[in-house]
Every structure is written in structure tokens, then in C-alpha cells.
């Protein structure tokens, strides 16, 4: 299997793992939900986990891969405020935790670019 064939499957695996984590340990995700959003943090946590799982499924199927990859790139941009909130909330934690929280912020860029690359290489519908 070539690298371009593995890439969407690896991205799908990352999203699937994140989606499962949202349901398995929702409390840690609840804390990252920006306060200004309507509804409860738990609702947003579950909705985000469901979106992760749906995007993962879309990436696995060649027919839906391009649309799912574009939606994944948008999703990564959309969840960025939660990562910013987490970094701000964790600014007084011990250095390793603070470094992890702030280190997540620039990682959004390669994730968005990865998803866009999967879309560009997809042969499915857009």
C-alpha cells in the first residue's frame, strides 16, 4: 500500500480514536468547550465525538473521501477555539501539561494541511 493510500486511513484512524475518546472520557473534553456556546459542554463533547466518527467513516470510503477530507479540514479549523481555551486554562499547570496544551495549537496547521492533501489526492466525489 502506497503512502497516498495509507494517508486517508491514518487520518481516519486519528479521527476515530478521538471520537471514541470523546465518549469514553467526556469530562476532559467538556472542560475545553468555550463558555459562549449555547447548550451544555457535554452536548458539544458528544457532537464533536460523533463528528469525528462520521468524518473517519467518510475518509475510509473512496467514494466519500474527498468531501469528508474537506469537511475534516474545516472541522480542524472549527475546533481550534477549544484548543485555545484549553491552553489558556492550563497556563498555570505544571510545565509538561502546559507545554502539551500550547503545543497542540500549532499542530492544527499540519492537520488541516493533511486533510486538504487527502482531499486533493481523492478520486471520489466532492
Could you report the per-residue pLDDT of 74-120, keeping only the tens digit for each?
A: 999 999 998 899 899 999 999 999 999 999 899 999 999 999 999 99
126/117 Cα distance (integer angstroms): 14
Of 123, 112, 80, the closest CA to residue 11 belongs to 112
Angle between helices 80-89 and 95-121 (to 10 degrees): 170
Could you report the per-residue pLDDT of 28-76, keeping only the tens digit for each?
A: 899 889 888 899 999 999 999 999 999 999 999 999 999 999 999 999 9
DSSP for 65-97, written as a single string:
HHHHHHHHHHHHHHTHHHHHHHHHHTTTS-HHH
Question: Taking the complete model, does pTM exceed 0.75, yes or no?
Answer: yes
86/103 Cα distance (integer angstroms): 11
Buried b (16+ CB within 10 A) or exposed e, 91-113: eeeeeeeeeebbebeeeeeebbe
Amino acid at each position: 500500500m502506497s503512502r497516498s493510500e495509507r494517508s486517508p486511513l491514518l487520518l481516519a484512524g486519528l479521527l476515530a480514536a478521538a471520537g471514541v475518546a470523546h465518549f469514553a472520557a467526556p469530562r476532559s473534553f467538556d472542560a475545553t468547550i468555550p463558555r459562549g456556546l449555547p447548550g451544555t459542554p457535554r452536548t458539544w463533547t458528544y457532537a464533536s465525538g460523533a463528528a469525528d466518527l462520521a468524518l473517519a467513516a467518510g475518509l475510509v470510503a473512496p467514494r466519500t473521501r474527498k468531501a469528508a477530507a474537506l469537511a475534516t479540514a474545516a472541522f480542524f479549523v472549527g475546533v481550534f477555539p477549544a484548543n485555545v481555551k484549553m491552553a489558556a486554562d492550563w497556563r498555570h499547570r505544571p510545565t509538561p501539561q502546559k507545554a502539551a496544551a500550547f503545543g497542540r495549537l500549532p499542530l492544527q496547521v499540519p492537520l488541516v494541511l493533511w486533510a486538504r492533501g487527502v482531499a486533493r489526492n481523492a478520486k471520489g466525489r466532492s
